[in-house]
Amino acid sequence: MELTKISKKLSYLLRHCTEPFYIDLDGGWADTEAIISALKTAYPVTDMDILEKIVADDAKGRYSFNEDHTRIRANQGHSIPGVVIEMEQPEPPEFLYHGTATRSLPDILKDGLKPMSRQFVHISPDTATAEEVGKRHGKPVILIIKAKELAQSGHKLYRSSNGVWLTDEVPAEYIIAPEDIK
C-alpha cells in the first residue's frame, strides 16, 4: 500500500495547497470528502478507512479529525498565510529544544530562529524529537531554547495538539548551542 505517499500528499493539501483552496482559514479545517477526492486523483485506493488509518497511525500526530470526521486538518506547519489553529498557551517549561543542521548554526546564532516558509518556528518538547527533526536537514545539532525566559520577555508560545511548541521567532539570546560547536 502507498500509505506514506498518500500521507505526504495529505500533508501538502492540508498545509500548503492554495490551488484549489481546501482549507478554512479559521481553524485550518478542510472537508474530508473533498480531501479524499483530491487524494483519489493520484491514489485511487484512497477512502475514509485509509484516511482514518493515516491519522491514527501518524507517530507525529500531524492530523486531526473533528468529532464526526467530516472535517480534517493539519495540526501545525501551514505555509498558507492567515490559517489560524486554536492552540493551548500553557506556561512553557524552562527549556525546549530545536533540531537543525550544523550548516545553519552561524545564521541561527546571529539572527535567531525564524519561521522561514511556515507561520511559526517549531520547537520540540524533548531532545529525541529535536534530533529527528535535525536529521531531516543534514548533520543534526540540538539547540536548547530558554522557553520560560522567552515567554517572560513577551513572546507567545503555543502548544499544538501533538505536543509541538510554536512561536513567532526565537531571538538569538534565548538559544543555547552545545559548547563543542560554538
- Give CA–CA dist 31/3, Å, rounded: 20
Q: Which residue is it, cell 498518500?
A: 6
Find out whether 63 and 74 touch, Cβ atoms under 8 Å: yes
- Give CA–CA dist 28/74, Å, rounded: 7
**pLDDT tens string 117-130:** 888 999 999 999 99
Find out whether 15 and 4 touch, Cβ atoms under 8 Å: no
**pLDDT tens string 129-158:** 999 999 988 999 999 999 999 999 999 999
**pLDDT tens string 29-66:** 999 999 999 999 999 999 999 999 999 999 888 999 99
Note the pTM of the prediction, 2 decimals.
Answer: 0.72
